[in-house]
């Protein structure tokens, strides 16, 4: 039997292209509907055999996290080990490229990547629906991050259906450096669209996608702006960029995005943004249909 020496896994940023919220359920979570896509930008994780579970964090946002047992990556590792009755450990290195608590799934994507990576390192051969189930116990966004496919998300986030035919689009992500706790944003929610929307029609190109998205919203945007008014500044600045087709907040914020027709226009927008706001996190990237 060959020994797996190291497993490298991507944890791409998740973007909620729209997010509609329904009723609060008896379990305290809200029903929602969301069109979720992933991007080329993300965190990176590597897994190597070791005694016990150890986590090291590096990268531009490493200082925002501590590798303590509460870290979602270690929680995911323990949940998977418990489920599969695994005795082995792992040395995990998380390269934190994404801002934390920022509405683009950082922690959820890392937890989901830990499930995928450790299942491979430990040769567990588990179907992804089992990883989904374990993911559900870790957070509402973890199941969708297990596959990292463009997806239609419902329930509290656990009902995930892959959507084919969502056009790949250039996207600029901007985070103003304020962390907005998800629970607080949901608690401040007033207006909401509810969850009666049918799945999106077939789309040929970015223009179709944008036309569709203009009929939708992110219901969490208004309450998040109330908590962190700088989100309004980010949205106004994104909307003012030449070539911006649509600008909106992702998840519960504070990261906002704008979609563009081509990468050059997206890169120009990101560059002009960087010229003005050196303290904001600004990235031009592209959405992906699935993990490479
Ligand atoms: O599942 P997650 O840890 O992301 O949720 C954080 C908080 O966000 C929950 O405790 C809940 O207050 C709120 N939430 C919600 N409905 C959802 C997802 C999250 O009310 N569908």
Q: What is the largest CA-CA distance in the chain?
A: 58
Are the C-beta atoms of 289 and 166 separated by less than 8 Å?
yes
Q: What integer pLDDT is reported at residue 2 of this predicted model?
A: 64
Return the ligand 1 atom nearest residue 30 CA: 16
Label the pairing between strands 53-58 and 90-95.
parallel
Q: Catalytic site residues?
A: 14, 141
The Cα–Cα gap between 59 and 38 comes to: 20
Q: What integer pLDDT is reported at residue 162 of this predicted model?
A: 95
67 — pLDDT class (breaks 50, 70, 90):
confident
Cβ 141 under 6 angstroms from ligand 1: yes
The Cα–Cα gap between 196 and 198 comes to: 7
Mention every residue, 6+ apart, whose C-beta is less than 8 A from residue 2: none
pLDDT tens, 47-61? 999 999 999 999 999
**Rounded to the nearest whole angstrom, what is the distance from the C-alpha of residue 2 to the centroid of ligand 1?**
41
């Amino acid at each position: 039997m060959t020994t797996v020496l190291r497993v490298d896994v991507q944890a791409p940023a998740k973007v909620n292209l729209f997010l509609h919220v329904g009723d609060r359920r008896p379990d305290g979570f809200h029903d929602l509907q969301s069109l979720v896509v992933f991007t080329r930008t993300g965190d990176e994780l590597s897994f190597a055999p070791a005694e016990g579970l150890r986590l090291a964090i590096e990268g531009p946002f490493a200082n925002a996290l501590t590798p303590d047992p509460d870290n979602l990556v270690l929680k995911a590792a323990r949940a998977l080990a418990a489920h599969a009755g695994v005795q082995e450990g792992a040395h995990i290195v998380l390269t934190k490229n994404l801002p934390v608590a920022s509405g683009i799934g950082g922690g959820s994507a890392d937890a989901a990547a830990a499930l995928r990576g450790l299942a491979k390192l430990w040769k567990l051969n588990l179907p992804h629906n089992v990883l989904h189930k374990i993911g559900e116990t870790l957070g509402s966004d973890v199941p969708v991050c297990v596959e990292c496919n463009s997806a239609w998300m419902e329930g509290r986030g656990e009902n995930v259906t892959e959507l084919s035919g969502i056009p790949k689009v250039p996207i600029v992500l901007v985070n103003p450096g304020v962390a907005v706790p998800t629970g607080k944003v949901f608690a401040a929610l007033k207006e909401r669209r509810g969850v009666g929307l049918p799945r999106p029609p077939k789309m040929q190109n970015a223009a179709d996608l944008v036309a569709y998205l203009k009929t939708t919203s992110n219901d969490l945007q208004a309450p998040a702006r109330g908590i962190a008014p700088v989100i309004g500044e980010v949205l106004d600045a994104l909307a003012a960029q030449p070539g911006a087709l649509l600008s909106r907040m992702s998840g519960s914020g504070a990261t906002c995005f704008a979609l563009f027709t081509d990468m050059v226009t997206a890169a120009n927008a990101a560059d002009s943004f960087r010229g003005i706001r050196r303290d904001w996190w600004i990235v031009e990237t592209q959405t992906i249909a699935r993990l490479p």
